[in-house]
Structure 1
Amino acid sequence: MRLGFGSLMTLAATVIAGVLSAGVPAGADPVDSPGVVLPAIKSPDGSYIEKIEVKDSRNVTLSVHSAAMNKTFPVDVLRPTDTSSPRPSLYLLNGAGGGVDDASWQLRTDALQFLSDKNVNVVQVIGGAWSFYTDWIATDPVLGVNKWQTYIGDELPPLIDAALNTNQVNAIAGLSMSGVPVLDLVIAHPGLFRSAAVYSGLTQTSDRVGQDMVKLTVETWGGGDTRNMWGPTDSPLWVDNDPYVNAEKLRGTNLFFSTGNGIPGVYDLPGGKFRLEAPSETPKVVALGSVIEAGVEWANQNMEKKLDSLHIPATFVYRDSGTHSWGYWQEDLHTSWPVLAAGLGI
């Protein structure tokens, strides 16, 4: 559907039963906070929650050790208002900066305020800058070890479910760089995420344009080497990780896509609320954002045609203006909520 504007349960239960029976990792102390516990959990793969920092009655930060990357990452969580019964979870991915910089959902939008009354755990994944949240085949001299699909799709959910007493129903959303990984996580983990939303996100990787956009992010801006990610561009991994090529595997998921068209709009004015750069730099940044957004719109149109040909329903929103900017993504999150909520059972 296009708008004019512009059996995991069993597996999860098995995993959680296993982790709850394992030993407490060194240095992990119980946490006394309503609805949030640090149980004696250590996943069969070796991942575990090192500690839980309770910021207030609604906000906690989990320090999660990834066995795949042998590193600990923060996960910021907004808890539901009502935790009297298990609630679903919405995983939010940031853009190219991985949420470790100033460009994050929490700092640049009203996402947490908007979601605060939705009775959902908002799980904000932190880390993974320039990585495309994928599993790299080699350690990169600049970007290090990256096994993000394993972390987000395998390691994190059972730990989240155990610590927060969720109902094991999930949705996922992400912007910009996160477009491909959001869809790839749905494809690689059938049933884990019942809804998926992509805001101004790339949706294909194995054609020349898609590969150039991936390289622009990873290499030009991130300083990494895509050969350490998926190998040379003729490697089958570029196809294996292409949501457009593997779109059939998106069937059964509530899908939402949104994009602008590259024409500057209301959120592209110098000094605006959502601008990160100095006003004098805005024309240059907007020009780059226009090019990126035009490419994203092209990729989204391709994905819409592909899904239509497969008779897979999806919601596509094409804004009549807008570049690659946070103001539009805030609006898109609001617009996508009915699609996300449908999968979450809210």
Structure 2
Amino acid sequence: MIRPRGVVTTLTFAVVLVFSFLTAPAAHAEPPQGAYITGIEPVNDRWDKVSVFSPSMNKVIVNDVFKAPRSGAPTFYLLPGIDGGDDIAGGGIAPGGKAWFGMTDIQGFFANKNVNVVSPLGGQFSWWTDWIADPSKQYQTYMTRELPPLINAEYNTNGENAVGGLSSTGGTAVDYAVQAPGLFQAVASYSGFLTPSDNAQQVGLTLLGGGASADAMWGPGGGPLWVAHDPSKNVAKLKGTAVYVAASGSGNAGAVDRLPPGFGDNFTGGFIERIVADSTRVFADNAAAAGVPVTYIVRPDGSHTWGLFESEMQESWNLTVGPALGV
């Protein structure tokens, strides 16, 4: 059983993030052909590492898969953060280890739940969206059109899906339901950034921390593509999808963070958490005004750590995702 290891702020650059991309001048007009599984490496009897060739990006993506105990189960996708699952801060975590399967107890929590849990790795500073000026970053296409059919066939799923994201990919997970209607029965944002078009400068600063330009993602900040991928601007398109969004209102470090003794107050994480909390509130207010029901949780404590993300994920499963998937 993998136990949580360490507590590291997911974002050590500027501010926050989110999101994913839909239709644009450079978008694919037809469904991509040729995605296939290049290999499956069993870690144990329930955990596989599945390598998939993405034709839209012309590269192989490794995906952690925790198999359901019985066939005919739904699938819960969990996106990585801005670091793509790697320890870019140099904390000594092995490549691919700063991710859901390395930092949280996926195997323990889902052991008796009939659901496949799939978490892709990689995609540093990509927002896990499609970029209009970078063919190597077409992650929305991968997550909405290439990967799910392969997982469905390989693991004999029932075709029902949910997706969650943390921090940089919290808004991305919600955006997937906007961009690919009907694919996901539930979406969840764990301390995510849900208002990118109104805060393009913050997104740009975070991308700049990885040497990337936000203009290459969705064009000039605040432009049409930014609005098209802004969950807070597209709440009406979420009707019929179960939605969970959460963040800590205070940003204060607390027991949920599982900080090691002597770690301190985690000022950077707290600063980021307060920003995403405000963004999450705006999204929830817009959803309420549009008459779109969402599960909106304001945590009393939490400073943008894996402890907080894991707690939010488990809560989202119990309150929103599991019921939507019928598990």
Match of 1:243 in 2: 231
Which structure is higher in RCO with an 8 Å CA cutoff and minimum separation 6?
Answer: 2
SS of match in other structure, 1:244: helix
Contact kept? 1:176, 1:200, Cα under 8 Å: yes
Deviation track 1:270-309 (CA, whole Å, cap 9, x = no partner) reads 625xxxxxx56x55xx111111111111111111111111
User: What secondary structure, in the 3-state scheme, does the structure 2 residue paired with 1:46 have?
Assistant: coil
The verdict on how the C-alpha distance between 1:120 and 1:270 changes in structure 2, with shifts beyond 3 A counting, is closer
Which of 285, 288, 298 is the matching residue for 1:305?
Answer: 285
Q: Indicate which of 174, 192, 195 corresponds to 1:183.
A: 174
Q: Is 2:160 the partner of 1:169? A: yes
Give RMSD over aligned pairs: 1.7
Choose from 78, 85, 109 the match for 1:99.
85
Q: TM-score normalised to the size of structure 2?
A: 0.83
Mapped partners of 2:84, 2:238: distance in 1? 24
- C-alpha distance in 1 between matches for 2:44 and 2:109: 18
Partner Cα separation in structure 2 for residue 73 and residue 193 of structure 1: 21
For 2:303, the aligned partner's letter is T
Shift of 1:267: 4.7
1:146-225 equivalence runs, <5 A: 146-207=137-198, 210-220=199-209, 222-225=210-213
* Per-residue deviation, 1:266: 2.3
Q: How far apart, CA to CA, are the structure 2 residues paired with 1:327 and 1:292?
A: 15
8 Å contact from structure 2 (residues 53, 61) kept in 1: yes
AA aligned opposite 2:83? G
Is 1:260 the equivalent of 2:248? yes
Alpha-carbon spacing, 1:191–1:293, altered in 2? closer, same or farther (3 Å):
same
- Whole-angstrom CA distance in 1 between matches of 2:311 and 2:256: 11
The list of structure 1 runs, each at least 4 consecutive aligned residues, that deviate by more than 6 angstroms after superposition, is none
Contact 2:258/2:307 (<8 A) preserved: no
CA shift, 1:216, in A, is: 2.9
Distance 1:234-1:59 versus aligned 2 partners, 3 A rule: closer
Q: Distance in 2 between matches of 1:312 and 1:240?
A: 18
**Is residue 2:39 matched to residue 1:54?**
no
Give, in whole Å, the separation in 1 of the partners of 2:223 and 2:259. 42
Distance 1:319 1:54, change over 3 A: same
User: What is the Cα deviation at residue 103 of structure 1?
Assistant: 2.3
Cross-structure match for 1:23: none
User: What secondary structure sits across from 1:206 in the alignment?
Assistant: helix
1:110 to 83, 86, 105: 105
In structure 2, give the amino acid aligned to 1:90. Answer: F
- Asked if the contact 1:111–1:333 (Cα under 8 Å) also holds between the matched residues in 2, the reply is no
Q: Which residue identity does 1:89 align to in structure 2?
A: T
Q: Which amino acid aligns with 1:342?
A: P
Residue of structure 2 equivalent to 1:343: 324
Corresponding residue of 1:32: none
Residue 124 of structure 2 corresponds to residue 129 of structure 1: yes
Counterpart of 1:88? Answer: 74
Structure-1 separation of matches of 2:222 and 2:287: 25
Counterpart residue identity of residue 202, structure 2: M
Can you give the 5+ residue segments of structure 2 that lack an aligned partner in the other structure?
1-30, 88-96
Q: How many residues align?
A: 286
Preserved CA contact (<8 Å) 1:138 1:145 = no
Amino acid at match of 1:288: T
CA shift, 1:111, in A, is: 2.6
Alignment match, 1:28: none
Deviations 1:13-36 (A, max 9, x none): xxxxxxxxxxxxxxxxxxxxxxxx
Corresponding residue to 1:318 among 281, 294, 298:
298
Deviations 1:159-197 (A, max 9, x none): 111111111001111110011210111111111110111
**What is the CA-CA distance between 1:129 and the residue it aligns to?**
1.3
- 8 Å CA contact 1:82–1:119 kept in 2: the answer is yes
Quick one: which of 266, 282, 292 aligns to 2:272?
A: 292
Alpha carbons 1:254, 1:342 under 8 Å: kept: no
Deviates more, 1:48-57 or 1:292-301: 48-57
C-alpha contact (below 8 Å) 1:170/1:193 kept by paired residues: yes
